[in-house]
Structure 1
Amino acid sequence: MTAPGGCSKVYWAMMKNKAIWSAIGCLLLSLSGCTSDAAKQQARSSVSWRYGSQAILVNAQTAPDLNSYDGESHSLVLAVVQTRSPDAFYQLIQTPELAGLVLQGGRPPDGILQVSRYALEPGHAFRLVLDRLQEARQVGFIAAFYGLPLTQTSRLFDIPVSVTRSGILFPDWQAAPSPLALDLKLGNSGIGEAESHPLERIPAAPDPASAPTAATPIRLSDSGEP
């Protein structure tokens, strides 16, 4: 293919330059993507685990035959645990004597920042909103079902981290802990469901008229590091 008249050299030079600039653009986009991924990862690794007011939401639904034994349903103690390391949580639930003391309001071991205990009755929906403690990286719970080991009636979840960008030419990435929702379903002899998901903010409590099974949990105690 040739351009008309004597413009063929100019035409091909323009086409060549266009191809070069297209290649450069693709390379820059690729490098920008790699740089952004690295910057976001760096932001995540250096996140400051700061205190967050009302940053943990627990929605717990209890079955009518909750914690059933001897042919009857019973209330149970639900402990919401904030920890700075998963090892501390797993060590706690694998040590029955220590866990029993903590579930009765005793001081938790090192690495456990706080244990908040609640009494839950059968057949209700409970909504708990807690502050996130400084340095807390995980939130877990222990449900004290009769006759079951705590390793089967506990769960641990990482606190999510959100990464935001500011600036265009010279972007700056910042990471921060996000609010967290835990959805629990507690049945007659164990946990039916346990899920977590991040939130932008804790939603307002629903209208009591639209939640006929809603009930207020009985807060027993908070215990944590001195």
Structure 2
Amino acid sequence: MLDVSGLVVDYGPVRALDHVDLVVEQGSITAVLGSNGAGKTTLLRALSGLHRPRDGAVQLDGHDITRLAPEDLVRLGVAHVPEGRGVIAELTVEENLRLGGLWRRDRHWLRSGTGEMYDLFPPLADRRHQRAEALSGGERQMLAIGRALMSRPELLLLDEPSLGLAPRVSARIVAVLRTLREENGLTLLLVEQNAATALSVADRAVVLHLGRKVADDTADTLAADDRVRRAYLEV
């Protein structure tokens, strides 16, 4: 579904991604692992149109999307949940969700879609009329994912969804990711610093180190690779 080849991203004189290759199969969960500064967030920002690559190519279903604007990528079925649980604090839960689906101009989906998000994330249903600023960290993360899903994406880019969350909340979000893949056929590219969490849910994983890809294999194989774990994944 997604084919990344030779991707290069620079921040001034600093090379954040150095000729990274990546393939994401349709209907799979692919994890991107590595320590801080590895280039994980930069990769997602480049794929979602927030950073323009210096070199390389990105194809979605065989179509070149390398230099498309973020809004064009959303229309093609790409949704990005950035690190930090970015929701609009002044809006209610329901308003945040509806905002995620507004570009579709589909009133029926705005009604039915919010209901689906409440089924997926029951804690949000009880808080639908509360402002997002009143939510806990876990609830904000659920809302951020729900808002992205309201655009009805085919590819969901997730940046550190378990960061700063209690283990119980993190486990609930991981369970939702499994549901999205298994029942909805959604394709996910998941950035995580917590390797154990990511490998428990992913089909395949790549490891970045200082902007370069240093490993790429099935999740089970990487989880069992002591050399990779010691060198790149233990923090």
* Greater gyration radius: 1
Question: TM-score if structure 1 supplies the norm length?
Answer: 0.22
Q: Which has the higher strand share?
A: 1
Comparing both structures, which one devotes a greater share of its residues to helix? 2
Query: TM-score, normalising length from structure 2?
Result: 0.21
